[in-house]
């Protein structure tokens, strides 16, 4: 059975549910990430760790905020940088064509990093899978972010009116918004990962190469000629 398209309302509801389940660790992880994102080299591992936590949240798992500091997060930096470079170059080229194509490509490739971290595939394969999995669903992805953006803008405007301490509430709201965004992206990735698995099973996404053919069985030796009968 084919996976239904991404539902905006259900995605946000699931994200809120999973976010509440991880509310303490999630907010602590966001705070730790903000505090350490300025540290060279360390910030690479914490960024990858943040993606890993996002994948776990989308599957309804409980996260550990300290996992963003695990050394193994930096095990495959070469391919990670190649993937980020390909995405940056592709989106930059798309931006030359009046910006809208660049926005489309951002949504088309936004889950490539998740596939790379979760599945361990090559950078080009991750881009291809993300592009195919999000085909026909980019508008729904945009609507999810639009709803979140409108809500955070309204709440920020309201809290910003509070004299003297308004900025504290706005800062806290920003941290909560980042936490909700992590949960939302986790739920969306779970949807597209399931869709990609179905596309693999149906052969819509191939590996790009043929499986090696089995070696031919050796030919059976011809029977030896019979000896002539004695006269």
**For the chain, how many residues are written?**
231
Answer yes or no: is pLDDT of 220 > 70: no
pLDDT in tens, 45-60: 999 999 999 999 999 8
pLDDT for residue 213: 43
pLDDT for residue 165: 84
| 122 Cβ contact partners less than 8 Å away, ≥ 6 residues apart | 79
Determine the Cα–Cα distance for residues 116 and 208; give it in Å rounded to an integer: 17
Q: Tell me the two tokens of residue 33.
A: 């990430």
227 pLDDT tier (thresholds 50, 70, 90): low
pLDDT in tens, 56-97: 999 988 899 999 999 999 988 999 999 999 999 999 999 999
* Domain ranges, ordered by start, for the chain: 15-75+136-202, 76-134
Q: 63 burial class (0-12, 13-18, 19+ CB within 10 angstroms)?
A: buried
Determine the Cα–Cα distance for residues 156 and 212; give it in Å rounded to an integer: 59
pLDDT for residue 2: 65
State the pTM of this model. 0.82
pLDDT for residue 226: 57
Q: At what angle do helices 123-133 and 112-119 cross, to 10 degrees?
A: 120
pLDDT in tens, 154-178: 988 998 888 888 888 888 888 888 8
CB 130 within 8 A of CB 108: yes
Answer yes or no: is pLDDT of 35 > 70: yes
């Amino acid at each position: 059975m084919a996976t239904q398209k991404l539902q905006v309302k259900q995605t946000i509801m699931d994200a809120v549910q999973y976010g509440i389940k991880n509310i303490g660790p999630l907010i602590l992880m966001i705070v730790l990430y903000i505090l350490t994102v300025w540290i060279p080299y360390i910030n690479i591992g914490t960024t990858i760790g943040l993606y890993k936590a996002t994948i776990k949240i989308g599957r309804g798992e409980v996260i550990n905020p300290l996992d963003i500091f695990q050394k193994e997060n930096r095990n495959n930096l070469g391919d990670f940088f190649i993937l980020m470079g390909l995405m940056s170059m592709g989106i930059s080229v798309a931006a030359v064509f009046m910006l809208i194509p660049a926005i489309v490509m951002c949504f088309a490739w936004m889950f490539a990093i998740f596939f790379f971290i979760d599945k361990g595939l090559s950078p080009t394969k991750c881009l291809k899978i993300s592009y195919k999995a999000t085909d026909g669903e980019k508008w729904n992805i945009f609507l999810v972010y639009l709803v979140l953006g409108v809500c955070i803008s309204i709440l920020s405007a309201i809290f910003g009116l509070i004299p003297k301490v308004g900025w504290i509430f706005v800062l806290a709201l920003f941290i909560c918004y980042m936490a909700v965004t992590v949960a939302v992206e986790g739920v969306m990735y779970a949807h597209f990962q399931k869709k990609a698995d179905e596309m693999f099973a149906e052969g819509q996404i191939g590996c790009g190469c043929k499986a090696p053919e089995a070696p031919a069985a050796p030919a059976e030796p011809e029977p030896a000629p019979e000896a002539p009968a004695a006269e």
